Amino acid sequence: MAISYNKLWKLLIDKKLKRIELQRGSGISGNVLSRLSKDECVSMESLEKICLFLDCDFGDIVEIIKNRDMQTMENDNARI
């Protein structure tokens, strides 16, 4: 399984916010923002700060991708 923050990036687009605005507004570090960009794990504390800033819930910004879904995504990317 893997973590995806695609929902977070879509939410930022919907709210017309830039990543730097997310960083400054939520109080997360540049390192956390970088980890989010790479779909890497971040602390629950960081996710909480983001949710409070965006007035949303965890499920609105992060999702778990199962192995089968990951293979499908990788295959789709390989075709591009």
Cα–Cα distance, 57 to 47 (Å, whole number)? 9
Using CB atoms within 10 Å of the CB of residue 18, give its burial: 0 to 12 exposed, 13 to 18 middle, 19+ buried.
exposed
pLDDT digits (tens, 9 = 90+) for 30-41: 999 999 999 999
Residue-range domains of the chain with CATH: 2-79 (1.10.260.40)
How many CB atoms neighbour CB 33 within 10 A? 17
pLDDT reported for residue 32? 97
What is the pLDDT, as a whole number, of residue 42? 96
Q: Give the Cα separation of 28 and 52 in Å (integer).
A: 12
Give residue 58's pLDDT.
95
Distances, alpha carbon 24 to alpha carbons 2, 28, 34, 49, 65, in Å = 27, 7, 14, 11, 28
